[in-house]
Amino acid sequence: MTGEREVVITSSADVVAVRQLVRSVAIEVGLSLVDQTKIVTAASELARNALVYAGGGDVRILVVENGHRRGLKLIVTDDGPGIPDLELALTDGWTTGNGLGLGLSGSRRLVDEFDLLSGPGKGTTVTVTKWAR
């Protein structure tokens, strides 16, 4: 399967939709059960972050190829207030909401590639990739 899927996040029901879509694409890409669960969990965290901190956003799901390996790429974008201190935001247990403060830092550990682009007033874009083994 190729092509891009997109989910617009406006409510927690959309977060569920993202999880289900990521799960089905992960299976098609050939990720192991553990890796499926990891990328689904990361997608859930990132989508919920966009919802909670930016009031919504959008998730793009892509199948990528790197030589002989296939992978799943997620691009989560929002137009929220942005993150002033990226290093602090990636610290375990640090949160401006009332969660556990592990969503962003935990997601980084759950995936193979992690890219965070943000600044005050610029919104936030998180790009993550999980490769099939």
3-class secondary structure, 43: helix
Shortest Å distance, C-beta 108 to other proteins? 10
3-class secondary structure, 71: strand
Compute and round to an integer the Cα radius of gyration of the chain.
14
Q: Are strands 113-118 and 69-78 parallel, antiparallel or unpaired?
A: unpaired
- Verify binding: residue 12, other proteins, rule CB under 8 A: yes
The contact mask relative to other proteins for 93-122 (x = CB under 8 A, - = no) is: ------xx-xx-xxx-xx------------
Query: 109 or 122, CB closer to other proteins?
Result: 109
Comparing CA positions, the residue from 96, 97, 53, 59 lying closest to residue 75 is 59
Residue numbers of the site for other proteins (CB under 8 A)?
Answer: 12, 16, 19, 23, 33-34, 36-38, 40-41, 44-45, 48, 92, 99-100, 102-103, 105-107, 109-110
